[in-house]
Homo-oligomer: A and B are copies of this chain.
Amino acid sequence: MTKIYEATVTAPVNIAVIKYWGKRDSALILPTNSSLSVTLSQDHLSTRTTIRASPEFSTDRLWLNGIEEDISASKRLVNSITTARKLRAALEKKQRDDGVASEDIVLLSEWSIHVCSENNFPTAAGLASSASGYAALVSALGALFQLPQSTSDLSRVARVGSGSACRSMFGGFVAWRAGESNDGSDSFAVQVADRHHWPDLQALILIVSEKKKTISSTAGMQTTVETSDLFAERVRNVVPKRMAAMEKAIAERDFGTFAEITMRDSNQFHAVCLDTYPPISYMNDVSRSIASIVHAFNTARGRAAAAYTYDAGPNAVIYALKDDMRDLAELVTYCFPRGSTILSEDFYADPFNMFGSADRIGQVPTDPDVAQLATATGQFPAGSVRRIIHTEVGDGPCVLPALQSLLNESGMPKRAKE
């Protein structure tokens, strides 16, 4: 039997606490400012990707969640794959230069590949999967091609696929250095702290129902760069200070500072979207109500005990320490009741067993102060929040054993939708 050249990896989602918004180079995806994110656990949110290279494949093919996509239609996909192939070709050349016998050099860079990718969370969740998707793609190519480059080097390859994907190449707390050079050589991700640095930090993701589709972040951010009179001030004077303060807060596990900067930066990102012409708004009334509830929760606690952040959509991600998360989870599940058609355990999975039993989800909170806040706030229409994902800080991409492959013997998806 012939040897199979294949790699299967999983890669995580990351949620920025200092937002990436605006490119200085759209082709290379070079950002106008540095950003910083928290990598979330792959237990709840991850993309698994298997890539096989074979001289028998006639062309590159890609399946996303069981459906075949046209690779050539995506310039970003082509960019990432081509860039990785060049690195493999350079490695093969080096092997030749080092005198490795040509029969011992596998010319993977010249073979076509089959890529099969699946998310462990429903696309319906409305969570951007491009970051975990491109991080998985590039990690799988790195493993398949046995590339010697560092993770930061490979993060540049993920970056040309999807900017924020470079941050999903690491676990824990990750900074994307904007860099200054025109070739993008100094625009890559670095790990600020690993997942074990701050074990008590948890995240609650609230999937908010949405009527109409919103403008894509790719289109939106460039309109902001071109039309917002306030954007340059954010890039020049605000973000650099926040990056330094946020890295310090993380190093010192100073949640109060982490929380305030996170909320301020989310608000400012949406503020420059509103200052864009025509204006862009991603948050809706439910999103804003969640933010108000978080501020009310913090006021009741007498400290910044929770921090919301919103990306290019209405969904909220709330960071809090383990000790505050139970009260927070009780508060939001009370204020935002599940839709009548959704089971409690689908609405809120309770992975840390905070509720004990599913029928306690959505009841009046146990803590008296939080109960008072909950009843004072009242309940929103059932289904305003469709799903709540409770998770924590997680690791970067992992290589899985061969039996976890998504491809069968002939290199086709094991699970394919027609």
A residues touching B (Cβ–Cβ < 8 Å)? 229-230, 233-234, 237-238, 260, 263-264, 267-268, 270-272, 274-279, 281, 284-285, 288, 291, 295
Min C-beta distance of A377 to chain B, whole Å: 10
Whether the pair A275, B267 counts as a contact (CB closer than 8 A) is: yes
Given contacts A284-B285, A285-B285, contact A229 B268 (CB under 8 A): yes
**Inter-chain contacts of A285 with B (CB < 8 A):** 284-285
Smallest CB separation, A73 vs chain B (Å):
28
The distance in angstroms between the C-alpha atoms of A70 and B342, with both chains bound, is 55
- State the CA gap A53–B408 with chains docked (Å): 96
Give bound CA distance, A295 to B276, whole Å: 13
In Å, the complex CA distance between A284 and B288 comes to 9
Smallest Cβ-Cβ distance to A268: which chain B residue: B275
List chain B residues, Cβ under 8 A from A229.
233-234, 237-238, 264, 268
The reply to whether B271 and A295 form a contact with Cβ atoms under 8 Å apart is no
Taking CB as reference atom, which chain B residue is nearest A231?
A: B230
Taking CB as reference atom, which chain B residue is nearest A260?
Answer: B277
A263 pairs with B277, CB closer than 8 A: yes
CB distance from A373 to the nearest CB of B (A): 15
Q: How many copies does the complex hold?
A: 2
Contact B267 A230 (CB under 8 A): no
Top 8 A-B residue pairs of the complex, sorted by shortest distance between their CB atoms: A271-B275, A233-B233, A271-B271, A271-B274, A230-B230, A267-B279, A285-B285, A229-B238
Q: Can you list 12 A-B pairs with a CB-CB distance of less than 8 A?
A: A229-B234, A229-B238, A229-B268, A230-B272, A230-B275, A263-B277, A264-B277, A267-B276, A267-B279, A271-B272, A271-B275, A279-B291
Kindly provide the distance from the CB of A4 to the nearest chain B CB, expressed in whole angstroms: 53
CB distance from A308 to the nearest CB of B (A): 10
Q: Which residue of B lies closest to A263 (CB)?
A: B277
Residues of B within 8 A of A260 (CB): 277
Chain B residue nearest to A270 in the complex (CB): B274
In whole Å, how far is A247's beta carbon from the nearest beta carbon of chain B?
18
- Report the minimal beta-carbon distance from A135 to chain B, rounded to whole angstroms: 31
The answer to whether A281 touches B288 (Cβ under 8 A) is: yes
> What is the CA–CA distance of A238 and B229 in the complex, to the nearest angstrom?
7
Q: How far is the CA of A67 from the CA of B405 in the complex (A)?
A: 78
Q: Is the CB of A267 within 8 A of B263?
A: no
Residues of B with C-beta under 8 A to A291: 279
Complex Cα distance, B272 from A270, in Å, reads 10
